[in-house]
Amino acid sequence: MSAASRSITPGPVQSAHCRYLLRLGDTSLVLGQRLAEWVGHSPALEEDLGLANLSLDLIGQARLLLSYAGELEGQGRDEDALAFLRDAPAFLNMTLAEQPNGDFGRTIVRQCLLDAWQLEVYAGLADSSDRRLASIAAKAIKETRYHFRFSSGWLVRLGDGTEESHRRVQEALNELWRFTTELFAADEVDDALAAAGVAPGLAELQPRWSARIDEVLQEATLVRPAPVPYQWHGKRGVHTEYLGHVLAEMQHLQRTYPGAQW
Amino acid sequence: MSNDWPLYEVFIRSRSGLEHKHVGSLHAADAAMAVEHARDVYTRRQEGVSIWVMRSSDIVASDPTDADALFEPARDKVYRHPTFYAIPDEVKNL
Amino acid sequence: MYTQGLDSLGKECVHTAAGDTAALEARFQGKVDADEKIEPKDWMPDAYRQTLIRQISQHAHSEIVGMLPEGNWISRAPTLRRKAVLIAKVQDEGGHGMYLYSAAETLGIEREQMLEQLLAGTAKYSSIFNYPTLTWADIGAIGWLVDGAAIMNQIPICRCSYGPYARAMVRICKEESFHQRQGFEIMLALARGTPEQQAMAQDALNRWWWPSIMMFGPSDTESRHTAQSMRWKIKRFTNDELRQKFIDITAPQAQFLGLQIPDPDLAWDESTQHFKFGQIDWSEFQAVLKGHGPCNRERLEARRSAHENGRWVREAAAAHAEKQRARAQRAA
């Protein structure tokens, strides 16, 4: 990391294109960081390996997306400068990604909702006018298909498992559902990128996501919660309290030893 | 019944053109989960292009004490091997 | 359990008159001496079976408990590359634990049973994992020293007389080759870094050196199992032989890093062509082994709570599988 890149503030005005990449990259990064908390503590040894694989894929996506965002920004910030030296308001991840793991059921609900979202986003990016982003999405969608298979498979098992497991995942679903509105609430960044043919329009993605989720919920014998108004704005840098703690932990070494190489 | 999920045996085809080979075992609640676990446990380094799993309890194996009866009789059937036949060197393509 | 065909013992294992045992034992030892592998259904002396169950399950437990001290730094790894590498490494350890539990299950013990022994505190695991990881340099030191010592211990086991154990070890050794290198790479970055980073590296070496060389186990004169295990070809080298080999290899690496091994007696001996080293404090080893290490409680507690908190998940998956089976049957 260069010395010039060590700014804590959100930094220069970023283009919509750059901010869009940060939304995707930060979502993958924060979700990957959350999943990694499970490693060594999962309900079964096999699940430790499964969750670690998901986490590794997501961190890999984050690296590609953040590196690209850093180049577009043009301030000399690489993937690590962006990951470790931005404070919470400069992170643009979906609010859902930063929500705590809770029990395994809650982690699976969060994962399934976001996997289904990423599936649509990455599929939509396949014909992006931005060829580099299209190729990142082409790689990521293969990973995401597996993630969705994993998370939806588990959601069905837990929903249609025991009384206790059903209750737990239904509660988690009710609790996390409010963050799904943000996934499809288009703002000026989304609109600008859709207009430029870089990103798919979020309005088109929503029905497909919704149908996919409904299918899983039905098989899992879970009830889809009522819609909740859009109140959470992680993708605009306004987060829940959780993100600050995630970052405090993640950025500990880079913050404590400024400028050191690792 | 055990509290643990049942045991599955895992067979991996390392690349197309090769047969599936036994690589080990794992626990899973159902067959779909066993395939996913096999993927996560046994193909982390691109070891495979195809996975078979089966319940370990469904395998029927021979008994090592029967080895003499099962496998010894093949021992003196040397005529099954090409080297059993003496062909003059000057005869080609045999 | 490794059931039915694979696991059910051969006839000889079940119906053996007392007089026949000697003959079976002689044939068994003959196979071992001829470097033939013993496979799950073959007859084997009960003591051989029990020794293997003990050793393989301890080895498996060590992998699983070993995920914890390193897992402690996943969330704080200093770069995204280091984070990915560390996740992959800790994940590998989980995989290695699984390969080993599988191998042990071929001997007629269930994984659940082994886990219960671990959680009850009656099974041993490598005492090295009862030390804390206090700084990032500890992740480097573990990879370099602990994995280095583990690999040295494990390579000979690839030729172990028991087939499933030997095969698991071949896979493990192949996968572990990156573990030690990534650890050394971390140490190298620190050693070439700021004075604070260098101090961090030296401090880690100071704390991990002695526990690492204790990983080879008690001295040959003290070790009760060595002779029999070598006769059975479960073990190929003595503890002291492996320890010496490790020190001979590692001392020059420390020198390359510009770090000081915390042993004033460590010196090259021209006459033996080996490094001499100081007295090992075996009382510390025994204390940690008996549960009085810095993190014994925390490690077991972490495993216990993962097991307990995961119970409803495992039960739910089993219940769902059962429902599916019932539905399929009704449909048929």
What's the CATH code of the domain at A249?
Answer: 1.20.1260.10
What integer pLDDT is reported at residue C11 of this predicted model? Answer: 67
- Please indicate, yes or no, if residue A6 is contained in any of the structural domains: no
| Domains in chain A, number | 1
Closest CA to B22 of B63, B45, B51: B51
Q: Which residue of C has its CA nearest to A106?
A: C313
Contact between chains at B32 and A49 (C-beta distance less than 8 A): no
Closest CA to A90 of A192, A259, A235, A201: A235
**What's the whole-number mean pLDDT along residues B2-31?**
91
Between CA B15 and CA B50 the distance in angstroms is 8
Quote the domain boundaries for residue A170.
15-223+231-256
CATH 3.10.20.520 given to domain B2-81: yes
CB contact residues (below 8 A), chain C span 156-195, against chain A: 186, 189-190, 192-194
Query: What's at A59, amino acid-wise?
Result: I
Question: What are the CB-based long-range contacts (under 8 Å, 24+) for C261-266?
Answer: C261/C205, C261/C209, C262/C205, C262/C206, C262/C209, C262/C210, C263/C209, C263/C210
Contact between chains at B30 and C6 (C-beta distance less than 8 A): no
**Residue range C262-283, pLDDT digits in tens:** 999 999 999 999 999 999 999 9
Closest chain C C-alpha to B78 CA, distance in angstroms: 24
Between CA B30 and CA C177 the distance in angstroms is 33
Mode of pairing for the β-strands spanning B50-55 and B7-13: antiparallel
**Residue range B8-20, pLDDT digits in tens:** 999 999 999 999 9
Mutate to test the interface with C, among A26, A29, A45 (most CBs of C within 10 A): A45
User: Model confidence at C18, in pLDDT bands (50, 70, 90)?
Assistant: low
Contact between chains at A53 and B40 (C-beta distance less than 8 A): yes
For C27-44, the DSSP string reads HHHHHHHTTPPB-TTS--
Say what percent of chain C tops pLDDT 70: 94
The predicted complex's ipTM stands at: 0.94
**Residue range C293-307, pLDDT digits in tens:** 899 999 999 999 999
- Please indicate, yes or no, if residue A20 is contained in any of the structural domains: yes
Query: Who contacts A158 (Cβ-Cβ below 8 Å, separation ≥6)?
Result: A104, A105, A108, A165, A166, A168, A169, A220, C313, C316, C317, C320
Between CA C166 and CA C100 the distance in angstroms is 10
Contact between chains at B41 and A49 (C-beta distance less than 8 A): yes
Helix axes A16-36, A45-73, angle to 10 degrees: 160
Q: Is the pLDDT of residue C107 over 90?
A: yes
Domain residue limits, chain B: 2-81
Q: Which residues pair with B12 in a beta bridge?
A: B21, B51
Tokens coding A56 = 């590794």
Tokens coding C229 = 């295990």
User: How close are the terminal C-alpha atoms of chain C, in Å?
Assistant: 29
* pTM, rounded to two decimals: 0.93
For residue A43, the chain C residues in CB contact (below 8 A) are 306, 309-311, 313-314
Mutate to test the interface with A, among B2, B36, B42 (most CBs of A within 10 A): B36
For residue A46, the chain B residues in CB contact (below 8 A) are 26-28, 33, 37, 40-41
For C221-237, the DSSP string reads TT-SSHHHHHHTTS--S
C84 close to A (CB below 8 A): yes
**Residue range C164-176, pLDDT digits in tens:** 999 999 999 998 8
- Please indicate, yes or no, if residue A209 is contained in any of the structural domains: yes
